[in-house]
Amino acid sequence: MVPITEKNQLLAAVAWITAAILAGFMCFAQLGVMLSLLMGRWGIAGVAPLAAILALILGELLGRRMGLTARQRILPPALALGVMILALAISVFYFDLSWDGQNYHQLGIYTIAADWNPLTGPMQATTPPLNSSVRYFAKGPWYIAAAIYKTTGCFEAGKCTTVLSWAMMGLAVFAAGLDWGLRRRFAVMIALVVALNPVVMSELTTYLVDGVMVASLTTVVAALFSALLRPQPVVIWVGCMATILSINAKFTGLVFLVFVFAGGGLWCLLRLRQWVFAYCGWVVLALFMGAALFGYNPYVTNTIYRHQPFYPILGSKAHPVKISPLGDPNERWETPKNMVGHNRFVRFGYAIFGRPGNQPYPSATNGQPELNAQLMWPFTARPSDLHYYDYHETRVAGFGPYFSGAFLISLGLAGWLLMQPGPARWILILAWLTIVASLMVSVHMWWPRFGPQFWLLPIIPAVLVVWGGQSRRAMVVAWLLMVLLLANALIVAGVHLAWETHASITLRQSGKEIEVCFYDFTRSGEEKLKAWDVPYQEKNRKEFKGGTELMSVVEGYPRPIQYQVIDDSTNATQINP
């Protein structure tokens, strides 16, 4: 550990302020759309530019508060604007080909932008009728996407929320590392590895919200670590805004935050008792803002109309959850058969030591169902396993082919830390207990997008070893672990984004009239084809006889959008590898 230098303080300040601008833009955009809805959609097209202006003003105020010079205060807004432009460019280039993104996320955004008011008329009848996911799930990213859509006229641009959250997370982790006295090169490494969370990278080009949720959650953790060391207004601002974003991205954002804040509260009770009341006050304020104000729909409206804020995940006496006669659909249809009926510890083991796969769906090699997940020894993944990372929702070993090996190395570092005196071992115990407890909430935590915080488990011991700086050998192992995790994450991101890039380029270049079967994705499919100016003839399920898939959930997943070129169907361009 080295003393915090003046340069490190400046870099940390710039990173925190830039993160605050990005978080502020997303929060202001959500709030602006909510206010516009209450005023009959007045001014909704101007919400995104106004949110950007307000976020830049916030950055200027925070820069002045932190004592930055006029020249230094130019850096955060310049970086933030650069990230925003990059986020829009990425979002416009790629097309959302995910199942949930095309099914209900896009439907929610279209209807909010057009004629549905989820604040004053959450139960309002619409055409087409809204499914339960649209009515009752969190809507934060939808509000932001609706604002960007109405401003730009490009629907795909609204996906930039994931990219903005990703950048916010990386900046916050980097800044927290500098605040804790880490050398700049290791702070950069930590930020890269954390930000390359495979769940975030696999959803970067889609409207899926798991990446937004975990990026915001990780930002809260980084702000919490920094604030407990030295409270600063900018850090508290970032933590509060990231709390709002996480709560309104997904129900589990609120659930996981409870564990994070409970862990922070326990640390205050044990080590910083003078901060307990201030800590509790900020936590209550952030949770109230996130759930009751920004999260009025769904948390308040669900409570009013269904007597349960987490409906339809949980039900109430008057409105019980209508479970399929066949049971939990995720358990019946999405879970490998050798996990069904087994406890969370068995699933925990498969999440770490499983061979990459998308069981129980058919294999690309022989078209036959692979019903059971497989275990593998660490570092024995085959090149043929990597194609599973083409898909947004890789089920088994979704955190990468070498995650199991990295986890074992982290166990060794954790054992070494536990034998050392000082606070590092207690931080390790508390952090790991918090993460594992939050994972055990869901029986589906083996599926990466349902437990994306899994990615942090092997990172924490490496960070604490380098922070403590007591053993050169342990530090070398920590560096090797971080390099391994970085390579592992880059493999997943590279394979997936290569598929996405090929698919998006191919779709733009087709140019001919096609016949298409939309299945469950009529609205989103029609919007795509109109945006690409692709002439098409719609066919129903009985008329359509096959073709190229326009989605990449997992191989063999039922009822994708399918198309084929009319004038030469035998030469229809294939997207799937």
Residue 131 reports pLDDT greater than 80:
yes
Separation of alpha carbons 104 and 203, rounded Å:
15
Q: What is residue 453's DSSP assignment?
A: G
What 109-113 contacts at long range (C-beta under 8 Å, 24+ apart), as own/partner pairs, is 109/142, 109/145, 109/146, 109/149, 109/155, 109/158, 109/207, 110/155, 110/523, 110/527, 112/33, 112/37, 112/139, 112/142, 112/143, 112/146, 113/44, 113/146, 113/149, 113/150
In the prediction, which pLDDT does 496 show? 93
Burial class of 337 by CB neighbour count within 10 A (0 to 12, 13 to 18, 19+): middle
In the prediction, which pLDDT does 3 show? 42
Separation of alpha carbons 218 and 200, rounded Å:
11
The answer to whether 190 touches 459, Cβ cutoff 8 Å, is: yes
Single-letter amino acid code for the residue at 31? L
Q: What is residue 73's DSSP assignment?
A: G
Residue 311 reports pLDDT greater than 50:
yes
In the prediction, which pLDDT does 216 show? 98
pTM comes to 0.94
Separation of alpha carbons 486 and 98, rounded Å:
25
What is the rounded average pLDDT of the residues 288-308?
A: 96
Please give the share of the chain, as a percent, with pLDDT higher than 70.
93
pLDDT single digits (tens) 468-523: 887 889 999 999 999 999 999 999 999 999 998 988 887 766 567 778 888 878 77
Q: How many helices (H) and strands (E) does the chain have?
A: 22, 4
- SS3 state at 486: helix
In the prediction, which pLDDT does 366 show? 53
Residue 403 reports pLDDT greater than 90:
yes
Residues 6 or more apart whose Cβ sits within 8 Å of residue 39: none
What is the rounded average pLDDT of the residues 367-381?
A: 84
What does pLDDT average to over the chain? 89
Per-residue pLDDT band for 16 (boundaries 50, 70, 90) equals very high
The pair of structure tokens assigned to 105 is: 């996320």
Angle between helices 233-247 and 276-288 (to 10 degrees): 40
Q: Strands 514-517 and 562-565: what pairing?
A: antiparallel
Separation of alpha carbons 374 and 424, rounded Å:
35
The pair of structure tokens assigned to 396 is: 């088994």
From the list 179, 185, 182, 163, the residue with the least C-alpha distance to 16 is: 179
3-state secondary structure 409-435: HHHHHHHHHHCCCCHHHHHHHHHHHHH
Q: Where does 66-183 have alpha helices with state H?
A: 75-93, 99-100, 106-114, 132-136, 140-152, 160-179
What Rg, from alpha-carbon coordinates, does the chain have?
23
Separation of alpha carbons 71 and 241, rounded Å:
26
pLDDT single digits (tens) 238-268: 999 999 999 999 999 999 999 999 999 999 9
What 9-14 contacts at long range (C-beta under 8 Å, 24+ apart), as own/partner pairs, is 9/178, 10/68, 10/72, 11/174, 11/175, 11/178, 11/184, 12/174, 12/175, 12/178, 12/179, 13/63, 13/66, 13/68, 13/72, 13/175, 13/234, 14/68, 14/72, 14/75, 14/76, 14/79
- Which among 169-183, 311-325, 459-473 has the top mean pLDDT? 169-183
In the prediction, which pLDDT does 570 show? 46
Separation of alpha carbons 282 and 263, rounded Å:
15
User: In degrees rounded to 5, what are phi and psi of residue 536?
Assistant: -150, 160
The answer to whether 154 touches 51, Cβ cutoff 8 Å, is: no
Separation of alpha carbons 419 and 338, rounded Å:
38
What is the rounded average pLDDT of the residues 189-212?
A: 96
Residue 574 reports pLDDT greater than 70:
no
Give strand pairing partners of 531. none
Cis peptide before 461 (omega within 30 of 0): no
Separation of alpha carbons 1 and 17, rounded Å:
24
Per-residue pLDDT band for 367 (boundaries 50, 70, 90) equals low
In the prediction, which pLDDT does 23 show? 98
Separation of alpha carbons 290 and 140, rounded Å:
10
Q: What is each CA distance from 323 to 99, 294, 326, 331, 384, in whole angstroms?
A: 21, 29, 8, 12, 38
What is the rounded average pLDDT of the residues 407-426?
A: 94
